[in-house]
Amino acid sequence: MKRVAIVGVGHSKFGDRRDVNLPELGFEAVKPAFEDANLTPKDVDFLSVGTAGGWYEEFLPAVVVSEYIGLSGTGLVRCEAACASGSAAVATAYNMIASGQSDVAMAVGIEKMTEVDTLTGVELIGRAGYYTWEFHNFGMTFPGYYALHATAHMKKFGTTEEQLARVAVKNHKYGAMNPNAHLQRAIQVDDVLSSRMVAWPLKLYDCCPMSDGAAALILASEEKAKSLTDSPVWIEAIGISSDTANVSKRAEYASLRSAVIASEKAFKKANVSPDQIDVADVHDCFTIAELLAYEDLGFCKRGEAGKMVEDGQTEIGGKIPVNVDGGLKAKGHPIGATGVSMMVGLTRQLRKQGGKTQAPIKNGLALAHNVGGTGHYCYVTVLRS
């Protein structure tokens, strides 16, 4: 397998982007990625587009995006792994280069979620489990699924609603400093606790917003990367796992098994341990999801995640800064864009282009933890500068 580097990154503004259509939104991420890499569309020989789709008008979104950014004719695939579709697109482009089939590949993550009304969105994403057995008769919702995990974690470890709220407060603090974030404002614990109930114990401010957005990465082989840049960021390892469609078939609810397996695979392949990671983006679609991630990734012991956020150990200056781009919670979660967006932010961190939210980089290691569905998919990607 050849080494693969990230040589260009681009990111659109996330948020309610009803001002642009799908390919126009993609363009906003792709153009800066080309500028960053000092490349043009003719240099790219493979494009993967990560998007879940279903809530916007285009049925073949990858083709529409590809035409609009001048890549018609190139190798093309659409990747779907629910909320981890972006990481799946990166993994696909990575594999094209690592296997020697491509020299320069692009991964675009994109989603438009605001072309349907919010409750239709709730309807569609509530089906992101097993429609027949969990939605048809029981109307599961996405917050409902993560609420099942929150209830179990609170019971097993004594995690509190205040500790969940602290995840939102931390991520909003950083989101307020990210010009591309959907929700650019700081909030307090009381704002979270007093927000309306969505699915007990999760309240509105425990949940990420429905966002539109796109992010793009340009990947290159080692030879090509060295001719393009003095500061490549290497994709060291990608660990991938999955779990049952029926949440009722899971062994337990205070952890996501797919995240445990994916991270073990990634750490083993990269030959690093969790305590060597300088900065991480984890999948905080709901506040409880970030706490599950700390434990599933081994950033703390089982049951200690609530205390970890309470003690500020995942802020800049703490043991391991997490979601310093605002996370899904404040930056927004256009679901197909998220995995790529994580790697855009982490690449900037490893290049020390993090600006006001730059984390200290000691070992040159960053980690993206991207969950699809309720642990239905998990992609853990380790980056090294």
Partner 1 sequence: MALSPPVRRFKSRPVTFIFELPTDKLTEFWNGLEKGKVYASKCKKCGRLTFPPAADCSQCLNQGIDWVDIQGEGEIETFTHIVIRPTSFMNHPTYTVAVAKMNAGVKVLAWLTGAKLGDVKVGAKVKLAAVQSEDGPSYGFTLIG
Query: Footprint of partner 1 on this chain (CB under 8 A)?
Result: 18-19, 57, 119-120, 122-123, 126, 130, 132-141, 143-144, 147-152, 155, 196-202, 246-250, 253
Dist. CA 199–CA 196, nearest whole Å? 10
Which residues sit opposite 221 in a β-bridge?
4
Residue closer to partner 1 by CB (options 154, 293) is 154
| For partner 1, the closer CB: 148 or 177 | 148
CB of 374 to partner 1, least distance (A): 12
Minimum distance from residue 279 beta carbon to partner 1 (Å): 32
Catalytic position from the list 149, 153, 333, 369: 333
Choice among 79, 83, 285, 300 that is catalytic: 83
Distance from C-alpha of 254 to C-alpha of 149, rounded to nearest angstrom: 6
- 202 vs 218: CA distance, rounded Å: 37
Q: Which of residues 137 and 230 has its CB atom nearest to partner 1 in the complex?
A: 137
- Virtual torsion, Cα 294, 296, 297, 300, nearest 10 deg: 50
Cβ closer to partner 1: 35 or 57? 57
Is 83 in the active site?
A: yes
The amino acid that residue 296 corresponds to is D
Coil, strand or helix: which one is 370?
strand
Nearer to partner 1, 201 or 354 (CB): 201
Closest separation between CB of residue 14 and partner 1, Å?
20
Give me the least distance between CB of 371 and partner 1, in Å please.
18
* Residue type, position 10, single letter: G
C-alpha 349: how far from chain center: 15
293 neighbors 259 (Cβ within 8 angstroms): yes
Identify residue 159 by its one-letter amino acid code. T
Whose CA is closest to 233, among 350, 91, 146, 342? 350
Nearer to partner 1, 132 or 353 (CB): 132
Bridge partners, 239 (sequence order) = 380
What is the CA 216 to chain-centroid distance, rounded?
13
The smaller minimum CB distance to partner 1, of residues 95 and 244, is found at 244
Which H helix or E strand runs over 8?
Answer: strand 4-11
Q: At 94, phi and psi to the nearest 5?
A: -55, -50
Q: Smallest distance, Å, CB 144 to partner 1?
A: 5
Minimum gap (Å) between residue 159 Cβ and partner 1: 13
Distance, CA of 383 to CA of 172 (rounded, Å): 25
Asked if the peptide bond before residue 201 counts as cis, ω within 30 degrees of 0, the response is: yes
Would you give the end-to-end CA distance of the chain in angstroms?
19
Angle at 303 between CA 81 and CA 286, to 5 degrees: 40
Residue 11 appears among annotated catalytic residues:
no
> In the bound complex, what is the minimum distance in angstroms from residue 142's beta carbon to partner 1?
10
Measure the CA dihedral 284/287/291/297, to 10°.
-10
Which residues are annotated as catalytic? 83, 333
